[in-house]
Amino acid sequence: MHNNRGFSLIEFLVVVALLGIISMFFYTPKATKWNAEVSTAQSRIVSLLKYYQKKSMRDGYKYYVRMDLDTINDRFEMNAFVDKSVTSRQSNCTNSNNVNFNERRVLDPLKNIRVIGCKVGGNTCSNAGSSNMGICFFPNGSSVAISAKNEWHISHAAGDNTTHANNAYKFVVWKTTSFIETFTCKGKASYNNISSSNPSCETSDWIEN
């Protein structure tokens, strides 16, 4: 004779509790996930810029790193170009289009990452998808950004005014030494869509790393 007894109420509650505990380890809230993505993006962007700053001094050429924001497909990329006719410092940054050099690195597309360039102080900001924007590195270790956009803000463009990443990052490139100074805005970033040129944080919200 078979025993067809089903689950008791206690057994059912135990199973539900266990499923709830397991789901906590596998489910990550969207805002937390987006905060992690923008943090990773900032690290990768700064790392690539430092690479070309050092490469310029090592090779003796100017390298131009262009910021490319595709607002239609919601993705950010960086491309690098060499100008072998420039072997010293310049006072302005001009386009280069030569990609024929060794050890060329590019940034793989970053989804939903918004980058804007501003003049120091967060003024006169432009979206990296609206015009040609980038930074020139020179063999003496100095750098110049197009249109004096030496302050760069990085935020996440996914979500809406209710649910969004609340952390943002920025970095400032010093002209004379190309030193990159980084800042974090923790928990106070506002939502901006991919095409916006508005800073995500107030000036007082930035903390130097």
* Type of residue numbered 101: F
Q: Which pLDDT score, from 0 to 100, does residue 164 have?
A: 95
| Tokens found for residue 192 | 């901006």
Q: Are 176 and 111 in contact (CB under 8 A)?
A: no
Q: Are strands 123-127 and 113-119 parallel, antiparallel or unpaired?
A: antiparallel
At residue 19, the pLDDT reads: 64
Domain ranges of the chain: 30-208
CATH of 30-208, one of 3.40.50.880, 3.40.50.300, 3.30.70.3270, 3.55.40.10: 3.55.40.10
The DSSP secondary-structure symbol of 98 reads: B
Give the pLDDT confidence score for residue 7 in this predicted structure: 60
pLDDT at residue 52, rounded to an integer: 97
Cα 183 from Cα 32, distance rounded (Å): 19
Residue 50 pLDDT greater than 60, yes or no: yes
Most distant CA pair in the chain, distance: 93
